[in-house]
Amino acid sequence: MKKALNFISHFALLSIFVVVFGCKSVSVLPTKQPVKKVELKSLAKEIEKASTKIKTFRARVKAQYKDSKREQQINLNLRMESDKTLWMSASILVPIAKLLITPNRVGFYEKFQKTFYDGNMSFINEQLGTSFTFQDIQNVLLGNPITNMNEEKFDRIDHPQYYVLIPKSKNKQFRPTYFFDPSNFRLKEQRFIVSGTSQSLSIKYPKYQKMEGKILPKEIIISIFDGANLVQLSLDFIRTDFPKNLSVPFTIPEGYKKLSL
């Protein structure tokens, strides 16, 4: 009996040792409120695991544009093939514009002024004061952070509702801050401050929807502040599916005037 008790006690101590020291990281469980003491590496893994990954994506979107002078509703037809193509067609009763983005190209044309642009991501980045890539734009629309959570180290800011993370690496152009829902590790907001300016970009995700086993934003609110003026674009995804094949027709009409940066 004494030998048995010694064996059990030694086994128990060994088990505790293995659990405490053998497990390099413990999974972070979903909770209603953020846990005060949490391993950030494990949290980042759960966030990356919760991110949306798709091959193809198609949606009809109601877009509401608002600034200090006007407010306008636009209907968008959105199509995306992962890491390859992002295509949009805009209409107000009738088609008014088309946009095509690939990793190496940004092209669009609009029918009111009969103008077009055909170049690269520098056009979008100059408007926003950012250095976004095609993959960053893709992640914004899917409700994913633009930072790869497994390849970055983070600092945490205490917040009563969300896990708030800031990458430790210093981006020369803008500084991102991420707000994550502790109940599902989904992104609630990603905020960017343009270095050396009062410009900021905020992208909020008030609602998500589950479609064919995939979780995607139902609403996205994009706010751009240049230090004096606020521009807001609200996107409401009213119909979404995942077709195997997508067409992305895009031909700049003849006679249109090229925009210069």
Mean pLDDT of the chain: 86
Torsion angle of the four alpha carbons 143, 145, 150, 155, in this order, in degrees rounded to the nearest 10: -130
Confidence of residue 5 (pLDDT cuts 50, 70, 90): very low
C-alpha 181/C-alpha 217 separation (Å) is 13
DSSP H or E stretch at residue 57: strand 56-66
Spans of all domains in the chain? 40-240
Q: How far apart are CA 233 and CA 17, in angstroms?
A: 54
What is the band of 103 on the pLDDT scale with cuts at 50, 70, 90?
A: very high
Q: Is 37 helix (H, G, I), strand (E, B) or coil?
A: coil
pLDDT tens profile 154-210: 999 999 999 999 998 776 577 899 999 999 999 999 999 887 788 899 999 999 999
In CATH, which of 3.90.228.20, 3.90.25.10, 3.60.21.10, 2.50.20.10 is domain 40-240? 2.50.20.10
Q: What is the pLDDT of residues 119-155, one digit of tens each?
A: 988 878 877 767 789 999 999 999 999 988 888 899 9
Are the CB atoms for 28 and 38 separated by under 8 Å? yes
